Amino acid sequence: MANKGRLIIISGPSGAGKGTICYELIKRMPELIVSRSVTTRPPRTNEQKNRSYLFVSQAEFLSMVQNNELLEYDHHFEHFYGTPRKFVEDMLKFGKDVILEIDVKGALQVKQNFPDSMLFFVEAPSEQALYDRLKKRGTETEEKIQIRMARSRLELAQKNKYDYCILNDSLERAVGEIMDILKK
């Protein structure tokens, strides 16, 4: 059965602005659906439990993997992250466009199974800007920021595998660029 909705994947270094962009996109295009990932990472203090993510134990996550309940998953920053399959597949069948905000490895796994998915890579204007955004967000220790910065270099090296690279210099401009592409 052909899917009717589009799968829109947003990746990029931690701190590049993916979450902020998704928030702005759904404000302006309320017909878009954002998939909620499942993770073993503990909630941050400003994260309402089970709103931004479904927070689960490692045993619960591994059971979801075994039962083929995840469309894709990856292990990074010492935790598992994955996309619940049923919700996404149901929404696509209903004709909804679904956004996945996931890392590069997960995005490329999804592209293999859904070749028509639209891959967006979001990047900050510079390494310094990325560091400043992570620092300002205040959710990670300096050590964890450094781990995220190191991973950002690996992710940036794969941006040529994406359909669209979006420079998140001005939020307004970046969101506008993505909206223009989606509306084409």
> Which residues here bind ligand ADP, judged by CB under 6 A?
12, 14-20, 133, 136-137, 168, 170-171
Distance, in Å, from the CA atom of 148 to the CA atom of 35, rounded to the nearest integer, reads 23
Quote the DSSP letter at residue 35. P
Residue nearest to ligand 5GP (CB): 106
Distance, in Å, from the CA atom of 159 to the CA atom of 166, rounded to the nearest integer, reads 10
Tell me whether residue 165 is exposed, middle or buried, using C-beta atoms within 10 angstroms of its C-beta: 0 to 12, 13 to 18, 19 or more: middle
Contact letters for ligand 5GP, residues 6-35 (x by CB under 6 A): --------x---x-----------------
Nearest approach, Cβ of residue 29 and ligand ADP (Å): 17
CB 163 within 8 A of CB 120: yes
The entry of ligand 5GP, ligand ADP, none near residue 103 (CB within 5 to 8 angstroms by kind) is ligand 5GP
Q: Quickly count: other Cβ atoms within 10 Å of residue 137's Cβ.
A: 15
Is 168 a binding residue for ligand 5GP by CB under 6 A? The answer is: no
Is 83 a binding residue for ligand 5GP by CB under 6 A? The answer is: yes
Distance, in Å, from the CA atom of 73 to the CA atom of 24, rounded to the nearest integer, reads 25
Distance, in Å, from the CA atom of 90 to the CA atom of 102, rounded to the nearest integer, reads 19
Nearest approach, Cβ of residue 57 and ligand 5GP (Å): 16
Nearest approach, Cβ of residue 100 and ligand 5GP (Å): 7
Q: What share of the chain is helix, strand, coil (3-state, %, to 5)?
A: 45, 20, 35
Instruction: Point out which span in 76-84, 87-95, 125-133, 161-169 binds ligand 5GP (CB under 6 A).
Output: 76-84
Is 96 a binding residue for ligand 5GP by CB under 6 A? The answer is: no
The structure tokens 């404000």 sit at 27
Is 37 a binding residue for ligand 5GP by CB under 6 A? The answer is: yes
Name the residues that contact ligand 5GP, by CB under 6 A. 14, 18, 37, 41, 72-74, 77, 81-83, 101-103, 105-106
